[in-house]
Amino acid sequence: MSRSAQRVVGILVLLVLGVLSLPAVAYVLDDPGTENWIVPVQLLAMAAVGAAVTVALPGLAGEGAPTERRAMTGAWWGLLAAFAGVVVFWLLLNGFGGA
């Protein structure tokens, strides 16, 4: 697979998982006493998923980057996707006018 195709596939996968990760984590942790852990667990999960996707698809990192650098770059991509997921849900729930 070409580098540009890896980037497109990787970014799409991370964006979809970033949007779906927030409700999935909220479904699991939405109990009294654990609701404050929803966002930290989502960020940690997306960092791990981003690292795994970028290790699997090296086109998301620099050309010829070692595995450690690809994993760190992927963690940042995952956190960016998690932030995009939070923004999407904010806009879906509150609209452009805010809460």
pLDDT digits (tens, 9 = 90+) for 78-99: 999 999 988 888 888 888 776 5
pLDDT digits (tens, 9 = 90+) for 40-70: 999 999 999 999 999 999 888 877 889 999 9
Q: What is the number of structural domains in the chain?
A: 1
Residue 99: inside a domain: no
Distance CA 99, CA 97 (A): 7
C-alpha dist (Å) from residue 3 to 28, 39, 49, 98: 36, 32, 19, 39
What are phi and psi for residue 57, nearest 5 degrees?
Answer: -120, 85
Distance CA 75, CA 5 (A): 20
Residue 39: inside a domain: yes
Q: Which domain holds residue 74?
A: 3-94
Amino acid 99: pLDDT: 59
- Angle of helix 3-29 relative to helix 67-94, nearest 10 degrees, comes to 60
Amino acid 98: pLDDT: 65
Residue 57: inside a domain: yes
